[in-house]
Amino acid sequence: MLAGNSIGKEFTVTTFGESHGRYVGVVVDGCPAGLPLSEADIQAELDRRIPAEPKIVSGRIEKDVPKILSGVFNGFTTGAPIALMVENREVDSTDYEAIKDLPRPGHADYPARVKYGGFNDYRGGGGFSGRVTVALIMAGAIAKKMLSRFGVDVLAYTRAVGKVKNDKKFSAEEIRRNRYRAAARCPDLARAERMEEAIVTAKKEGESIGGIVECVALNVPVGVGEPMFDSLDADLAKALFNVPAVKGVEFGLGFGIAELKGSESNDAYIMQSGKVATSTDNMGGVLGGLSNGMPITMRVAIKPTPSIGKEQKTVNLSTMKDASLTIKGRHDPCVVPKAVPAVEAAVAVTLADHMIRAGFIPKVLERKN
């Protein structure tokens, strides 16, 4: 397969659709039979995508209603591929005709036009739009439901928006309870308000800002991962880098570990409630590409939204002359809040794939007869 729109080996996720095309969808192959699954399960995850606060998101508010096309019978997965899709309804492509020869700095327009010989769908960024995260989130909904049967919980939330940061250590309970209560998706509700203010200010100035999404995967059993080339951290990073606008991924202390001494960075083993654990989690729960039983902690750097209201320099690709560009249309001044469920989904589908590969999840979850 040449196209790069699939991920996973045993739990395979193949996405399709464009920002202004008719549908966005996903085919999930390898989901075990016997998982209760309904459109309401998928809807619940999709509803988390767009924060309720219109001031901090783009004007395009799609009420995504998922359809399960295959792979579910009598309310349970059958073991066959599951196809899911949503319709794009709020499409307005007028602004894109005017700038089709003017690649947006920071977006995929220019390399996509060269790679696909100009046949790429440029409307709304086509297949490079953040809209494609809808497909990932639908796949993630299945992965999360399956993982939860095995006690695994994946929780993403906003750690920073622009310069508004939060270094607090949150309990899993606090993250579960609060992160989707705040439009900025930060479990510290007071800090979340300041994050929202920063986004509103950026929007008013015709600017955009980035931030950091943190994700923790709890209760992943020891030994998940397939070194050498399918190491757990490598595959998680691969999935996360495929979320649009992600420019950095780190585990545990990440880049901060480089300046420590071994005696400071090593996570000492201890016995805890009859199990081997570590007293710290500087490694982020992965050693040698294998889960070590501690929470897997990741941080993802998200860049400022490429489409901004200020005038920018670009080139006109039909005249090959320098040009200037002022982008109109509907854009998120900060993609961080919308990226939170996408990060969660990227981690969940990768863990689902690896838990199946490592033999922790059987092909049939329960037998009827």
Binding positions for ligand FMN, rule: CB under 6 A? 58, 107-108, 125, 128-130, 133, 243-245, 303, 305-307, 331-332, 335, 338-339, 342
CB of 172 to ligand FMN, least distance (A): 24
* Residue (64 or 332) nearer to ligand FMN, CB: 332
**Closest CB to ligand FMN among residues 148, 201:** 201
Q: Phi, psi (5° rounding) for residue 182?
A: -100, 135
User: Would you state the structure tokens that stand for residue 11, as one six-digit string?
Assistant: 């739990």
Kindly state the smallest distance separating residue 338's Cβ from ligand FMN, in Å: 4
Measured from the CB of residue 189, what is the shortest distance to ligand FMN in angstroms?
22
Smallest separation, CB 207 to ligand FMN (Å): 13
Q: Using the minimum distance from each CB to ligand FMN, give the nearer residue, 165 or 303.
A: 303
Q: Do the beta carbons of residue 224 and residue 291 sit within 8 Å? A: yes
- What separation in angstroms does the CA of 360 have from each of 28, 99, 146? 19, 50, 11
Q: How far is the CB of 95 from ligand FMN (least distance, A)?
A: 11
Residue nearer to ligand FMN on the CB measure, 18 or 332: 332
State the Cα–Cα distance between residues 183 and 28, nearest whole angstrom: 29
How far apart are CB 179 and ligand FMN at their closest, in Å? Answer: 16
| CA neighbor of 241 nearest in space, from 222, 208, 213 | 213
Token reading at 147: 């993982």
Cα separation, 248 vs 368, whole angstroms: 45
DSSP 3-state percent helix, strand, coil across the chain (nearest 5): 30, 25, 45
Which letter does DSSP use for residue 336 in this model? H
Pick 232 or 302: Cβ nearer ligand FMN: 302
Write the DSSP assignment of 144-199 as a string of letters.
Answer: HHHHHHTT-EEEEEEEEETTEE--PPPPHHHHHHHTTTSTT--SSHHHHHHHHHHH
Write out the DSSP string of 56-103: GS-S-------EE-SSEETTEE-SSPEEEEEE--S---HHHHHTTTSP
* Beta carbon nearer to ligand FMN, 30 or 333: 333
Closest CB 81 distance from ligand FMN, rounded Å: 25
Q: What is the closest distance, in whole angstroms, from the C-beta atom of residue 106 to ligand FMN in the complex?
A: 6
Least Å distance, CB 353 to ligand FMN, is 21
57-68 residues labelled b (16+ CB within 10 A) or e (exposed): bbebebebebeb
Q: In what order do the strands lie in the sheet with 246-251?
A: 164-165, 153-161, 211-218, 296-302, 246-251
| DSSP H or E run through 14 | strand 12-17
CB nearer ligand FMN, residue 275 or residue 313: 313
In the bound state with ligand FMN, the residue whose beta carbon lies nearer, of 23 and 150, is 23
Nearer to ligand FMN (CB atom), residue 72 or residue 137: 137
State the first-to-last Cα distance of the chain, in angstroms, to the nearest integer.
38
